[in-house]
Amino acid sequence: MKSLILHVGPPKCGSSSVQRFFKNHKKPFVEKSQFVRLDGSTVQQLEQGKLTTEIRKALKLKGHVILSHEALFIKPEALRTIVKLATERVPEIRLIGYSRRSSSFMLSAYHQWGFRNPKVVQPVNQVLRENDIDPSQFLGFERQLIASIIKDFDFGSTPVMDWNKSYGHLEDLLSFAPVKMKVGFLPVPGSAPNLILDFSRKAGLSLKKRYHQVKLQSNPGFNSHLTEFVNNAVVQQREVPGPHDDNDFFHQVSAFLPSPLEVSPSFTELLKNYIDTYFYPSHQEFCRKYQLNTDYFKVSGNPSKELVLEAIQKEMQTRLKEHRMTHVYREVMAITMEAFYKYARQRPFPKSV
């Protein structure tokens, strides 16, 4: 093996697009290379320090070997196990990882997993109640952002958003080996270089020219009418698919739903702006450390936490006075019911007895 390249994700940072590209294109580089998407059970065993047949076979492959799984970022002990085994066998080890704006990460994670996870939804509502905020006056994603702001982001999955701390921890954990850290941003769609070209440069490999402009497939997001509908069922403690279950069903129903659900875009922007402002100093340090352009994390304004908490109370009172959320939920139920019916019509109904 000439080099080992560890693609660590993180989740919601283009991992599916990278993995899908390599699944569809077996020899995209000038150099001899092999791509292995690790199995989730393999990552779990590696986290416990156990070596698997999959890893042993991968380290015997020829050329440049890429091991990929987004869970490696949030299970760093699994990374450590791989690097320990590979250090004496591989002349070069590279770690490739990406990042994105904190608010964007939070919203993407919510609309993929958080909206249907009782272990997230119930504590979020509890935080709001403890701070005299009526959860019923806010959409699920708004509640998630508000609770995280109140708790100074020491809540749920939010620590992963401080990229400086997260990648710093990985670097410290792997300091026993000469691992080259190749860290960057999730490229904006349509920008140059695209994700695969950027990935190849970080890997130190030459992407064949015919792949330079390849169109990437990303995971389509679930429609926010549907995520709100399901989130409300979780709040009512009804049975719904788990955080990683029945994604095809959600994608198919989303296709019948209209544009995203919005109640107060300006209020959402205020929450997002505060989140990005909160992490901005740390992300500036992150950019300096890995020689990245700080403009990626640039923020407008500098809203204080006090100002944001006041805005939350004001928004709640306005919605209560106007009965706004009553109208919103009626619309959500009607639109989502229509989508379920259209979805069901594509499948044969059982005959009436």
pLDDT tens by residue, 181-212: 999 998 876 666 789 999 999 999 999 999 99
Asked if residue 135 is part of any domain, the answer here is: yes
Q: Where are the beta strands (DSSP E) in the chain?
A: 3-7, 33-37, 64-68, 93-99, 179-185
**Band of pLDDT at residue 221, cut at 50, 70 and 90:** confident
What pLDDT does residue 1 have? Answer: 80
Residues 187 and 326 in one domain: no
Please tell me the predicted confidence (pLDDT) of residue 268: 96
**Average pLDDT for 143-154:** 94
Cα–Cα distance between 92 and 223 in angstroms, integer? Answer: 43
Identify whether residues 73 and 124 lie together within a single domain.
no
Statement: residue 347 has pLDDT above 90: no
pLDDT at res. 189: 63
Are both 91 and 112 inside the same structural domain? no
Same-domain check for residues 11 and 120: no
Looking at the structure of the chain, the number of domains it has is 2
Query: Rounded mean pLDDT of 291-304?
Result: 92
Residue 63 near residue 206, CB atoms below 8 Å: no
Residue 119, CA distances (Å) to 161, 235, 242 in order: 19, 11, 11
* Same structural domain, 144 and 254: yes
Q: What is the pLDDT of residues 17-73, one digit of tens each?
A: 999 999 999 999 999 999 999 999 999 999 999 988 889 899 889 999 999 999 999
Residue 180 has pLDDT above 70, yes or no: yes
Residue 205 lies in a domain: yes
> How far apart are alpha carbons 109 and 105 in whole angstroms?
6
pLDDT of residue 346: 85
Question: Phi first, then psi: what are they for 64, rounded to 5°?
Answer: -100, 125
**Residue 299's pLDDT band (boundaries 50, 70, 90)?**
very high
For residue 94, the enclosing domain spans 3-100+163-211
Same domain (yes/no): 94, 240: no
* CA-closest candidate to residue 37, choices 56, 16, 51: 16
* DSSP annotation string for 276-335: HHHHHHHHHHHHHHTT--GGGG--SS---HHHHHHHHHHHHHHHHHHTHHHHHHHHHHHH
Residue written as token pair 């609770």: 147
pLDDT over threshold 60, residue 293? yes
Residue 156 domain-assigned? no
Q: Report which of residues 51 and 227 the model is more confident about.
A: 227
